[in-house]
Chains A and B, each alone.
Chain A
Amino acid sequence: DTEVTQTPKHLVMGMTNKKSLKCEQHMGHRAMYWYKQKAKKPPELMFVYSYEKLSINESVPSRFSPECPNSSLLNLHLHALQPEDSALYLCASSPGVTLSSYEQYFGPGTRLTVT
């Protein structure tokens, strides 16, 4: 099973709402990632978790708060977002982070619209 699942598929939220995005993988991977992808652009890395610990935060605003409850789950908590945060949010996983040859497996994404 090489699947990464993400819920919800679509999310519309107001600027004062609090919501969460969820990601799950059952491949035994020890690294998980959040990316943000704007229309007609490549994905941009936001966070990397390695062995359930945050290892990379790409200077993401604090209104985005990641959480890795266990090795299979990754959440992204959203609070007080801005309209410019509307994008496709992609989760990915890989066997680890210490080898450059590790490929990342991506989920289908959550399409977020902030109104």
Chain B
Amino acid sequence: AQSVTQLGSHVSVSEGALVLLRCNYSSSVPPYLFWYVQYPNQGLQLLLKYTSAATLVKGINGFEAEFKKSETSFHLTKPSAHMRDAAEYFCAVTHTLAGGTSYGKLTFGQGTILTVHP
């Protein structure tokens, strides 16, 4: 079964500082990985996804993530934090069944709340 672990339930940075949100996955088959952002009282918005085409994935709002198979990681980064980046971030992996199908099951990490200080 696939799973993801997000290290750090809360991350606090200053405006303009580097953002690094950590995600490690566990999967017996090549994973498909996603980062979502959730602003207070809203739904989830897809930031980016990894589907094996390229290990460095660029997403919206200046975020990117690098897939590292040797480290089983898919950390999310942004060079310079903005106040508007304050939100909760979820890493997720598709639950891949035998034969590579998904049947729609996403497994989420526990989430990381990002706080940005002026």
Contact = CB atoms under 8 A, between A and B. Distances in A.
Q: Please say whether chains A and B are actual partners in one complex.
A: yes
A115 interface: no
Given A42-B90, A109-B42, A100 B101 contact: yes
Contacts of A42: 90, 108-111
Interface of B: 32, 34, 36, 41-46, 49, 51, 90, 94, 96, 100-106, 108-111
Contacts of B34: 103
Contacts, number: 74
Interface in A35-58: 40-43, 45, 48, 50, 55-56
Interface residues of A, number: 31
Given A42-B110, A43-B108, A111-B41, A102 B102 contact: yes
Contacts of A90: 43-44
